[in-house]
């Protein structure tokens, strides 16, 4: 199990069975922009339109470096089957959970994206697994949605805010943020320590696309040095794949991960700055929390609050002063 989790967490390889069983997943088509009178309603429809089951492809290539002697790294191309659904929803927040379906039956909890309307506090990534809370003004937040992206263990990853745009039949959102190294590189590289993402999410009739123009930055002593630029395209194409294995797995683990999010909310509330150890002993944080979840949910239905003490103990062990 440990090796499986590690592979999934790092997104190195997706061992996806090409014979995934098919089942029709109906997702309402987006109405033309001209019929969307309520801007916030239009925004919410676009966010929720990212739900569904997809073949997702990941393509990244380094494109430019100010250092003419820099050796570009090998291009990255992978794909997988991913199920995306609403995990929580209020009038000002929509939480989308991603699950990977591996070999039609093995499910791996993947990343989560929370969309918060007119949010005024973001955890801004600094460097070396450290985040600092930043408050934005009411004017800056007006009409915007903050995309808060979390790791597979629900720890922070990156956050940015921007305005959804609906024009000429197009529906897109753009944001800029600093983040840690991507999962495909954080165990392989140490020649840079910040990834500045320039992201554009566009919702299409058959899925959605995350376009990225990323700066790989060396941040030290208050100075940023650009190592190179990178182009990234994550394309989510809707298909008639079977989400049942993912739905069954989530039904068993849903309350456990709700408790994990609850404990993290407590941590965020009292920590204006947050720094995490990558490993404690020989385990990454996502390994420890996933193993605890499997133990808590394997034999009987999980009851809310049952593992709060254990969850808090695991997360606390990775917090640095």
What tens digit of pLDDT does each residue of 96-105 get?
A: 999 999 987 7
Yes or no: say if 312 and 320 are a contact pair by the CB < 8 Å rule: no
Give me the architecture of the 2-242 domain, per CATH: Beta Barrel (2.40)
- Residue 6's pLDDT is what? 45
- Looking at residue 19, its pLDDT comes to 38
Q: What is the pLDDT of residues 49-67, one digit of tens each?
A: 999 999 999 999 999 999 9
Give Cβ neighbours of residue 167 (< 8 Å, ≥ 6 apart): 33
- As a whole number of angstroms, the distance between CA 159 and CA 140 comes to 15
- Cα distance between residue 200 and residue 198, in whole Å: 7
Spatial CA neighbour of 175 closest among 138, 202, 137, 207: 202
Q: Do residues 268 and 260 make contact, with C-beta atoms less than 8 angstroms apart?
A: no
- Is the distance from CB of 115 to CB of 94 less than 8 angstroms? yes
Q: Given phi > 0 = left and psi -120 to 50 = alpha, else beta, which region is 207?
A: left
The residue ranking higher by pLDDT, 221 or 23, is: 221
Domain ranges of the chain: 2-242
Looking at the predicted structure, is the pLDDT value of residue 48 above 80? yes
d(CA 131, CA 18): 39
Task: Say if residues 133 and 160 touch (Cβ distance below 8 Å).
Answer: no
Write down the pTM of the prediction.
0.88
pLDDT in tens, 116-148: 999 999 999 999 999 999 999 999 999 999 999
Residues linked to residue 90 through DSSP beta bridges, in sequence order = 93
Please list the helix, strand and coil fractions of the chain in percent, rounded to the nearest 5, in that order.
25, 45, 35
Backbone phi, then psi, for 161, in 5-degree steps? Answer: -125, 150
């Amino acid at each position: 199990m440990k090796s499986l989790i590690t592979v999934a967490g790092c997104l190195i390889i997706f061992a996806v069975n090409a014979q995934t069983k098919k089942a029709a997943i109906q997702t309402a088509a987006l109405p033309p922009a001209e019929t969307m009178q309520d801007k916030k309603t239009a925004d919410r429809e676009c966010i929720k339109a990212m739900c569904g089951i997809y073949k997702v492809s990941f393509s990244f290539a380094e494109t430019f470096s100010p250092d003419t002697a820099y050796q570009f790294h090998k291009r990255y191309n992978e794909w997988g089957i991913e199920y995306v659904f609403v995990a929580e929803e209020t009038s000002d927040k929509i939480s989308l959970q991603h699950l990977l379906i591996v070999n039609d039956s093995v499910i791996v909890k993947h990343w989560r994206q929370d969309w918060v309307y007119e949010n005024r506090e973001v955890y801004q990534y600094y460097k070396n697994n450290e985040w600092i809370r930043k408050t934005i003004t009411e004017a800056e937040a007006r009409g915007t949605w903050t995309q808060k992206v979390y790791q597979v263990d629900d720890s922070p990853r990156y956050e940015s805010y921007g305005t959804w745009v609906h024009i000429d039949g197009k529906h897109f959102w753009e944001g800029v943020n600093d983040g840690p190294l991507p999962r495909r590189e954080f165990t392989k590289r140490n020649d840079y320590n910040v990834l500045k993402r320039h992201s554009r999410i566009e919702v299409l009739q058959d899925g959605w696309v995350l376009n990225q123009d990323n700066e790989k930055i060396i941040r030290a002593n208050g100075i940023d040095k650009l190592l190179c630029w990178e182009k990234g395209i994550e394309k989510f194409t809707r298909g008639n794949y079977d989400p049942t294995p993912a739905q069954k797995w989530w039904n068993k683990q849903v309350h456990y991960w709700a408790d994990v999010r609850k404990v993290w909310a407590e941590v965020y509330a009292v920590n204006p700055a947050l720094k995490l150890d990558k490993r404690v002993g020989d385990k990454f944080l996502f390994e420890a929390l996933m193993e605890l979840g499997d133990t808590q949910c394997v034999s009987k239905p999980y009851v809310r609050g049952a593992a709060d003490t254990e969850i808090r103990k695991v997360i606390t062990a990775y917090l640095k002063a």
